[in-house]
Amino acid sequence: MNDNTFHTIPENLEAIELDTENSGFSMSSDRKIGSLLSTLAAAKPDGHFLELGTGTGLATSWLLLGMNQSALLDSVDNDQEVLEIARRHFDRDKRVTFHNCDGGDFITREQPDTYDLIFADAWPGKYSLLDETLALLKVGGIYVIDDMSPQPNWPEGHADKAKHLLGKFNRCSHLKMCRLAWATGIVICCRTE
Ligand SMILES: C[S@@+](CC[C@H](N)C(=O)[O-])C[C@H]1O[C@@H](n2cnc3c(N)ncnc32)[C@H](O)[C@@H]1O
């Protein structure tokens, strides 16, 4: 099996990848996590989705590919410049709302039991405000993170933070959790109660 073969890719993916490269943005999501997100999104018809850390909109494009027409996506980033790239590529897709604000502020403003899937791809929602973010999931909702295997761009000391985070999930009795040493290292959790 070749896990670099993708069933379908978002129609604007290559254009976003090109804009991403030209912008110099280096924290973008790869196609593997994208294809996983798309598949998970398809499992939640009419779902309400949250992406923390839009970047230039790569994972956004995969989430939208999996979502049906009545599903909704909130995508949050505090960097106006990269968010503009995402906005440009999705200005006609009414399912997505971009929020240019701090992810932590967004998390603390939202109501519990709101989301069917959260892709936490920024510091808030992952390394900070984890409990508050997990509380935003509905029962049966799915929480996804990547970059959990050592990456060349990790700053000194980050490996300890990642290890600590994995330990936290293990102690959450209201989650079922799966670790995938695949792509950049993925954790998928499902809220059970
Ligand atoms: C790993 S990148 C996201 C990549 C993106 N999901 C993709 O598909 O390519 C992390 C993003 O989080 C954003 N970010 C960092 N700190 C943030 C914060 N406190 N609030 C909101 N966004 C933040 C950065 O601007 C960056 O775009």
Rounded CA separation 175/99 (Å) = 28
Q: What is the CATH number of domain 29-191?
A: 3.40.50.150
d(CA 93, CA 77): 18
Nearest CA owner, ligand 1 atom 15: 122
Q: Is 122 in the pocket of ligand 1 (CB under 6 A)?
A: yes
pLDDT by residue for the chain (193 residues), tens digit each?
888 889 899 999 999 999 999 999 999 999 999 999 999 999 999 999 999 999 999 999 999 999 999 999 999 999 999 999 999 999 999 999 999 999 999 999 999 999 999 999 999 999 999 999 999 999 999 999 999 999 988 999 999 999 999 999 988 889 999 999 999 999 999 999 8
What is the Cα–Cα distance from 128 to 61, expressed in whole angstroms? 25
CA of 135 to the centre of ligand 1 (A): 21
**50 Cβ inside 6 Å of ligand 1:** no
From the CA of 32, how far away is ligand 1's center (Å)? 18
Question: With a threshold of 0.95, does the pTM exceed it?
Answer: yes
Residue with the smallest CA separation from ligand 1 atom 12 is 53
Ligand 1 probe mutation, 23, 25, 27, most atoms within 8 A of CB: 27
**27 in contact with ligand 1, CB cutoff 6 A:** yes
Parallel/antiparallel/unpaired status of strands 72-77 and 96-100 = parallel
Q: Ligand 1 center to residue 124 CA distance, Å? A: 9
Residue 150: per-residue pLDDT? 94
Q: Would the CB of 124 count as within 6 Å of ligand 1?
A: yes
Q: Check if the beta carbon of residue 11 is closer than 8 Å to that of residue 52.
A: no
Domain boundaries, the chain: 29-191
* Ligand 1 contact via 61 beta carbon (within 6 Å): no
Distance 56 CA to ligand 1 centre (A): 9
Q: Which of 23, 28, 54, 126 to mutate to test the pocket of ligand 1 (most atoms within 8 A of CB)?
A: 54
Residue 184: predicted pLDDT: 96
**What pLDDT score does 153 carry?**
87
